[in-house]
């Protein structure tokens, strides 16, 4: 369900604004979006996984407040 470190590094390298950038809003939103998409795909398969659904709603709340 969680993204791998390799995939996270790919996302960071794609959206970074400078060499050591991991905290800019662009990078954070891109990583959260990837996590949300993966969790959404998981929930399409496992419809009764309420624990993961709660985590998804919490992540979506983080994106809205960013």
**Neighbouring residues of 57: CB distance < 8 A, sequence distance ≥ 6:** none
Mean predicted confidence (pLDDT) in 27-45? 94
Measured between alpha carbons, how far is 44 from 40 in angstroms, rounded to an integer?
A: 6
Q: Domain spanning 5-65 has what CATH number?
A: 1.10.287.10
Measured between alpha carbons, how far is 35 from 18 in angstroms, rounded to an integer?
A: 23
Q: Is the pLDDT of residue 15 over 90?
A: yes
Q: Is the pLDDT of residue 64 over 80?
A: no
pLDDT of residue 6: 97
Q: Is the pLDDT of residue 66 over 70?
A: no
Residue owning tokens 């983080």: 62
Mean predicted confidence (pLDDT) in 26-55? 94
């Amino acid at each position: 369900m969680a993204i791998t470190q390799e995939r996270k590094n790919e996302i960071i390298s794609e959206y970074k604004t400078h060499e050591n950038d991991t905290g800019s809003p662009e990078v954070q939103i891109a990583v959260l979006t990837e996590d949300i998409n993966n969790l959404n795909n998981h929930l399409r398969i496992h419809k009764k996984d309420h624990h993961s659904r709660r985590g998804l709603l919490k992540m979506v709340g983080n994106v809205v407040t960013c």
